[in-house]
Amino acid sequence: MPKCLAAALALAIVLPVSLPAQEAAMGPLRPDQAVFRDLYKELVETNTTLSSGSCTLAAERIAAHLKAAGFADQDLTLFSEPEHPKEGGIVAVLPGTSKTAKPMLLLGHLDVVEARRADWSRDPFTLVEENGYFYGRGTADMKGMDATWVDALMRFRRAGFHPKRTIKMALTCGEETTYAFNGAEWRAKNRPELIAAAFALNEGGGGRTDGHGKLLVESMQVGEKASQNYRLETVNPGGHSSIPIRDNAIYELADALVKVRDYEFPMKFTETTRTYFAKAGAARDDELGHAMVALANNPEDQAAAALVSRDRGYHSMLRTTCVATLLDGGHANNALPQRAGANVNCRIFPGETVEGTRAALTTAIDDPRLTITPVPPVRPVARPPPLDPKIIGPAEKLVAKYFPGVPLVPTMSTGATDGIYLEAIGIPVYGVPGAWGDPDGNGAHGLNERRSVRAVFVGRDFLTDLIKAYANAN
């Protein structure tokens, strides 16, 4: 999951218009909305955590719904690995009529972050509707979008909708846990033909409110960083703690981590981030806004770069970042340490490599005794998709229709999604706008996760129209 910190940064835009509240109470549900709610409820209430849940079960339930809607067996591919029987997924295909238009792909992950009932105010695997919000693990990340993809394919099939472009859907497992079997990665490496597409739609975009019911901005994620962990380790003969020496594995590691803290990777732009800073900066009339525009126009403007980089979110959007996240060392409280280690988590700027980042850390630390090793899994190089007018244009039109006066801003995620695996095999991935969240993140990955009821239903209608717009385009 996103994980789209960059989208949240768009909250910094100060809009010159007064926007209507978006959280008005929902009226009675239409029959099609009631069916969708039941699907959403079923997905949320299907536990898909790594520890005790099953993505395979969720995929099987989705397949049953698609078959009931008229999908044939040959249009559905259920998959799992014998070593990971509960971490399966599904690929579904709605054939198009054009022989020249390449398919589009709807991407999503079924797995969710762990959730302990004792920690939550409500059962995390029971969909609860309360005070205008749906509560439950996965309500925001990302079973609302999963349900929307499935619901759209079901409605298209039942209505006899024949798109020009073939519509594929891939719902997989493993996105939320670093060491889990990752279905998107496996498909990209082992069955790329099954998910081959001109482009994919994914999580990572969406709207943000002011926290009081007003929608401030819609964003489309166009690119993301690559997340990569490194093991820093020092070793030493050790000895008795009663006769300490300066040559100490823990001290050596500590010195290295201070250098990691102080090292600043060079500033860079992608087409997306340059556009973001230009648009977001122009929408605010203050010193930071002016600096954002100046930096977008001239990346060599050191004064503007320094001012913009004071904001930690913007700082991360402009460069690779690395931070120490875990420590271990020593073997006894009365002995000199023989070994000390740390995990350093890097978010690598698009186009930069894992090895190049390791080399930069090696140079910054400048200690030949210390080892720096990439920790599996080793991520592919992040490949930013283009700001393609054929992708951005239809989204802008629908944002204007659904949310008058609200801008659509392209963003680059400083987090990570499964999109990176598809981009590695040449499929550009876009995090779509539509449903919105609040500034506090709505409890995604945390306690009492929630999503606005209106956001779920309006987002579903928005994305259905967006799929149609892309599916019928050349």
Q: Which of these three, 375, 395, 427, is where a domain ends?
A: 375
174 and 69 inside one domain? yes
Collect all residues with Cβ–Cβ distance below 8 Å to 319 and sequence separation of at least 6. Answer: 264, 265, 266, 267, 268, 349
If you write DSSP's letter for every residue of 424-444 in order, what string do you get?
TTT--EEE---SEE-TTGGGT
266 and 304 inside one domain? yes
Q: At what angle do helices 249-262 and 354-365 cross, to 10 degrees?
A: 110
Phi, psi of 26 (to 5 degrees): -75, 140
246 and 359 inside one domain? yes
Tokens of 321: 């970042």
Q: Which of these three, 341, 375, 409, is where a domain ends?
A: 375
32 and 111 inside one domain? yes
Q: Looking at 43-178, which runs of residues are DSSP E strands?
A: 76-81, 84-94, 104-109, 128-130, 133-135, 167-172
257 and 350 inside one domain? yes
195 and 233 inside one domain? no
The domain that contains 434 carries what CATH number?
3.40.630.10
47 and 150 inside one domain? yes
Tokens of 83: 């070593």
Phi, psi of 214 (to 5 degrees): -105, 125
pLDDT at 23: 62
The domain that contains 297 carries what CATH number?
3.30.70.360
Indicate the length of the chain as a whole number: 474
pLDDT at 20: 36
Alpha-carbon separation of residue 160 from 156, 288, 409, 470, 472 (angstroms): 6, 52, 34, 17, 14
Alpha-carbon separation of residue 121 from 125, 130, 144, 439 (angstroms): 12, 12, 21, 21
370 and 461 inside one domain? no
355 and 365 inside one domain? yes
Per-residue pLDDT of the chain (474 residues; tens, 9 = 90+): 554 444 444 444 433 333 334 466 778 999 999 999 999 999 999 999 999 999 999 999 999 999 999 999 999 999 999 999 999 999 999 999 999 999 999 999 999 999 999 999 999 999 999 999 999 999 999 999 999 999 999 999 999 999 999 999 999 999 999 888 999 999 999 999 999 999 999 999 999 998 888 999 999 999 999 999 999 999 999 999 999 999 999 999 999 999 999 999 999 999 999 999 999 899 888 999 999 999 999 999 999 999 999 999 999 999 999 999 999 999 999 999 999 999 999 999 999 999 999 999 999 999 999 999 999 999 999 999 999 999 999 999 999 999 999 999 999 999 889 999 999 999 999 999 999 999 999 999 999 999 999 999 999 999 999 999 999 997
Nearest in space to 64 (alpha carbons), one of 81, 47, 76, 54: 76
| Amino acid, single-letter form, for residue 80 | S
Task: Provide the whole-model pTM.
Answer: 0.91
236 and 197 inside one domain? no
Give the structural domain span for 236: 227-375
162 and 201 inside one domain? yes
Total domains in the chain come to 2
16 and 162 inside one domain? yes
Q: Which of these three, 375, 407, 438, is where a domain ends?
A: 375
